[in-house]
Amino acid sequence: MGSLLAKKQVGETCVICEQTKMAGIHLYTSFICTECESIMIQTDTSDPKYKYYVEKLRKVTKPEIYS
């Protein structure tokens, strides 16, 4: 429980911008900050940034395997 509390105080690393942020959502085991979430929702599919976000979100479907 102590490590969970420490993690919440420090924040988590966003899978999109790769910065540590305090607020956001969890998608499976990945964290997306509220800023990136807002930008992604507003991005049109014809926008060149759309492909960037799709590539970043591919990390979510490929969970890391630790051996």
Residue 3 pLDDT: 52
Residue 53 pLDDT: 93
Which long-range CB contacts under 8 A does 14-19 form with residues at least 24 apart? 15/56, 15/57, 15/59, 15/60, 16/40, 16/53, 16/56, 16/57
Residue 28 pLDDT: 82
pTM greater than the 0.75 cutoff: no
Residue 10 pLDDT: 78
Residue 17 pLDDT: 94
Q: Where are the domains of the chain?
A: 8-61
pLDDT higher than 70, residue 22:
yes
